[in-house]
Amino acid sequence: MCPSPRSCTGSIRSRPRGRRPSAPDLPPARGPIGQARDRLVAALVTKPWDKGLPALNAARAAHGLAPVDSVMGALTAPERLIVLSPRALDYADRTFPPHVRFAGPRLDDPVWAQDPALPDGDAPLVLVGFSSTYMDQRAVLRRVAAALGRLPVRGLVTTGPAIDPATVPAPASVRVVRSASHGAVLPQAAVAVTHAGHGTVTKALVAGVPLVCMPQGRDQHEVARRVTVAGAGVTIGPRASSRRIASAVRTVLEDPAYRRAAGRLAAAIAEELASDRAADELEAMAGARR
């Protein structure tokens, strides 16, 4: 299994030459200089993971496994690498070694997620969800709430445990709550505005909902790029003004191409989730040993 299922889609292995490196939102490499850039960036991105190398090798030794030279190296060693992410969210032309198996996402809502009342009316619903951990997102939540007040929509802004909803003022058409069950709300949404965290993006795409991505850090820039490459949404900066945010939401609402692309991804993910591939892979391995 990936050490961090939410970010493993971008870190399974180095990309082939000419492809984008993992994590940073960079254009494709061109020529020797671009390839050198990718090697350097890949080293910088993966190096921090090696802080966990002693603990990883201790765990491996406890299970009778040989040590590895790097945390990322461990991903090339197992008999199976089961990726809890949709294959459709990765680049279509990317190839993987045979031991890598996509099993689709885990879609459970967190235990603290509520099922809040939606804003009144029948205008298109926009769900706003940023990180459930603190990423200094109060200011961007305020700008998004103000942006939705410029549009003929209903807004449901979720702050997560890290931000007090009372600190995010909003117009009458926008309701601000600490949490909402994505499984219950997303099927009713027309657009999702998000930091492009892997979980939020995946749940939106499962529901066929196009996105406005405002990545703030971590793996979010790379996830946002995958959304835009697939045509299922747009990406704007985390410091975008409320006017710019409103424009991006309007673009995604009014152009049906974004919802069609999100629908194509939803269909691909549904096929992937038709069976529990992770359980199937584990049972097949256990059966082969018996």
What CATH number has the domain bearing residue 240? 3.40.50.2000
What would the pLDDT profile of 218-246 be if each residue is shown by its tens digit?
788 888 998 998 999 999 999 999 999 99
Residue 116, domain member (yes or no)? no
In this structure, the strands spanning 81-83 and 154-158 are unpaired
- Domain shared by 198 and 262, yes or no: yes
At 100 the three-state DSSP class reads: strand
b vs e for 227-237, b when ≥16 Cβ sit within 10 Å of the residue's Cβ?
A: bbebbbbbbbe
Domains contained in the chain, number? 2
Does a structural domain hold residue 280?
no
CB 126 within 8 A of CB 153: yes
Q: What is the pLDDT of residue 157?
A: 93
Give 192's strand partners.
Answer: 127, 211
pTM for this prediction = 0.76
Residue ranges making up the domain that contains 146: 125-272
277 within domain boundaries: no
Question: What are 147-166's pLDDT values in tens digits?
Answer: 999 999 999 999 888 888 88
Per-residue CA distances from 187 to 156, 209, 263 (Å): 13, 8, 12
Mean of pLDDT over the chain: 83
